[in-house]
With several copies, the nearest count.
Chain A
Amino acid sequence: MSVLVDDDTRVVVQGITGGEGKFHTEQMLDYGTNVVAGAVPGKGGQEVAGVPVYDTVTQAAREEDADASVVFVPPAFAGDALFEALDAPLDLVVAITEGIPTQDMSRVYRRLQETDTHLIGPNCPGIITPGEAKLGILPGNIFSSGNVGLISRSGTLTYQIVDNLTNRGLGQSTAVGIGGDPIIGTDFIDALSLFEADDDTDAVVMCGEIGGEDEEEAAAYIGEHMDTPVAGFIAGRTAPPGKRMGHAGAIVSGSGTGTAESKISALEAAGVPVGDTPEEVADSVEDLL
């Protein structure tokens, strides 16, 4: 078992004819992901890496029986691409695109609430069930199959932590990068509840960062609803207020919400050990299992 993606997930790549889209389609195919179609307006009938391209997501989903998509569409058109994926409808949409205007995402998020689709991202590395499928740009080779679930707002920091886990033989059930934007689809709580319900996940690592209050809300959720143990990490302890740290969502507001301290203390209050270093996170996971 795993969360959201597995061997059977049938994937459309939106924006497959672009540079990134093409490259990562090949990478996903190499990893064994079931990429069944691409969708790019005006490019219907072409092929990319042996995958047939359709003009619309609806056509791709209908003709190839796809149930998920990965979105590499440029920011100016990504909002529309997400609406298209929700409309198809697909069960899972993974939005890799960075730099989507916040108001576009606000509208997508509004629509998302009315659907049963899981949206991951945007501005995220994707999701991987090691040995089965990856949807996104994650480097498949650093992951290994196991019983640790991983949720993270960041990309390379996730890889760092996965590396620490894998080096100790702690494999992953599924790892999901939920993205560094202020408005995202699947949030910590959504992902935590999926792992809680997954029989093959015995511990979860939750890797947060400054900005917003999702980690605080997740802490409350963990305290009330989770039996599966959770270990935490929070990046950005040294970030000054009012400055964005790379991610559009990683900012401590002037009024002092979104600080690392607030998140760490909320998690610790919910019984979640928060590591000071990635190594300490791996230590905690070993303890929890």
Chain B
Amino acid sequence: MRLHEYQAKGVFAEAGIPTPASELARTVDEAVEAAEEIGYPVAIKAQVHVGGRGKAGGIKLVDDAEEAREAAEDIIGMDLKGYDVETVLVEEAVDFTNELYVGVTMDRGEGRPVAMVSKRGGVNIEEVAEEEPEAIAREHIDPAFGMHPFQARKVVYDAGIDGAVAGEVASILTTLYEMWDERDGSDIEINPLMVTEDDDVIAADAVFNVDGDALFRQPELAEMEEKAADNELEAKAQEYGFEGSNYVQLDGNVGIIGNGAGLVMGTLDLVDYYGGSPANFLDIGGGAKAERVANALDLVFSDEDVDSVVFNIFGGITRGDEVANGINEALDEFDEIPVPVIVRLAGTNAEEGMEILNTDLVQVESTLEDAVQAAVDAAEEVKA
């Protein structure tokens, strides 16, 4: 779960990390008013979950009310890489002499957190990591002990941070780690951490990604999770209880439903292998209760790009005949099946199951390969 910049900065400021003066605005008038209050120059920044907002025109620096109005008019309501911009952050523009990077993330290979500091702030840190890895100092944290004070100093000095601000940067990194630890962060970073002429440091941007699996114990952050999802289909998926990563919309036209993440991914790959293009990833999990199957079908049917659907269920503990009954019940709820649905059952009692399925409504295939091939063919036919 990723917080918006303004939310992350709110959390940072609460923890005592210096952030620029800022206000949130939802209309052009609000934005101009905020700019006047803060005093020019200010930055007007789109609040959407998109990287590279600046390059895409989502961040503008303005020097007076007229420019502020123009920029706000441009940004509010714009489509930024597929996302509608509804809110902007109007923020004091800070004069800086240096831009640093500090961050804390989980190193999954090591199974432990890592703190990172670099003098190469203000640019895409993943590019720095690839092109010049030695420009980022790293310090792994022992999750049993947490970050020792010396580790914050060590990684800051190792990064070559100037002595005049090293202590302050180490202190900000310590706060960052504590936030990460106490609030179940997955990635937290400040990029850039600006250094001013007076050797003050200030968090000019803020990333705060939270472990979605830990939201149950982070009620304050859970509340920040936007009720409005990034688009209508994802909103519908949430409503149907296909939370988080169980539904992912893609660009193609073959809808895919299955049980189990690996099997669904494998089905996506097979669609691609047979020349089709997956429209989505949808894992309905264990079992095949009629209501859940119906919701899944309704969700995929709602995607206008979908021209056919492959429904791939491996019955394990749940027997194939039970699954087939569930699917039949679910299908009964639809007045009409809008696009061809190809069902393939496997595993325990799969053959019995396939005999039970209502072939007036769906096409039944007995192997994965045949089912996917059929779905790809059906989608091509619709297109043609």
Contact = CB atoms under 8 A, between A and B. Distances in A.
Tell me, yes or no, whether A and B come into direct contact in the complex with CB atoms closer than 8 A.
yes
Contacts of B217: 76, 101
Given A103-B211, A246-B281, A255-B126, A210 B163 contact: no
Contacts of B149: 77, 80
A247 interface: yes
A156 B269 contact: no
A118 to B, nearest CB: 15
A236 B268 CA distance: 7
A250 B261 contact: yes
B206 to A, nearest CB: 17
A75 interface: yes
B262 A243 contact: no
Counting chain B CB atoms within 10 Å of each CB, the highest count among A77, A153, A210, A236 belongs to: A236
Interface in B206-220: 211-214, 216-217
Interface residues of A, number: 79
Interface in A149-163: 152-160, 163
B111 interface: yes
Nearest to A157: B262
Interface string A73-93: 001110011011001000000
B250 interface: yes
Contacts of A99: 213
B41 to A, nearest CB: 30
Nearest to A83: B148
Contacts of B264: 245-246
Contacts of B106: 102-103, 106, 182-183
Contact of B213 (A75, A84, A250): A75
Contacts of A180: 261-262
B113 interface: yes
Contacts of B228: none
B384 interface: no
Contacts of A44: 157, 163
B293 interface: no
Contacts of A58: 154, 158
B317 A157 contact: no
Contact of B347 (A100, A107, A163, A209): A163
Contact of B269 (A42, A55, A152, A238): A238
A136 B189 CA distance: 38
Contacts of A207: 262
Interface in B106-150: 106, 108-109, 111-113, 126, 129-130, 142-145, 148-150
A273 to B, nearest CB: 16
Interface in B139-194: 142-145, 148-151, 153-154, 157-158, 163, 166-167, 181, 184, 186
A225 interface: no
Nearest to A177: B262
A254 B105 CA distance: 14
Nearest to A39: B150
Contacts of A256: 130
Nearest to A27: B317
A22 interface: no
Given A246-B283, A277-B270, A142 B261 contact: no
Contacts of B212: 248
Nearest to B372: A277
A268 interface: no
A111 B145 contact: yes
A235 B281 CA distance: 12
29 contacts: A75-B216, A80-B150, A83-B148, A87-B150, A87-B151, A99-B213, A102-B184, A102-B214, A105-B111, A110-B112, A111-B145, A137-B316, A139-B315, A154-B265, A155-B260, A156-B262, A160-B346, A160-B368, A183-B106, A207-B262, A210-B265, A235-B262, A235-B266, A238-B265, A243-B245, A247-B245, A248-B213, A249-B108, A279-B367
Given A103-B181, A139-B316, A238-B272, 15 more contacts: A55-B157, A57-B150, A58-B154, A106-B143, A111-B144, A137-B316, A137-B317, A152-B262, A210-B265, A213-B109, A235-B266, A237-B272, A239-B268, A250-B262, A277-B270
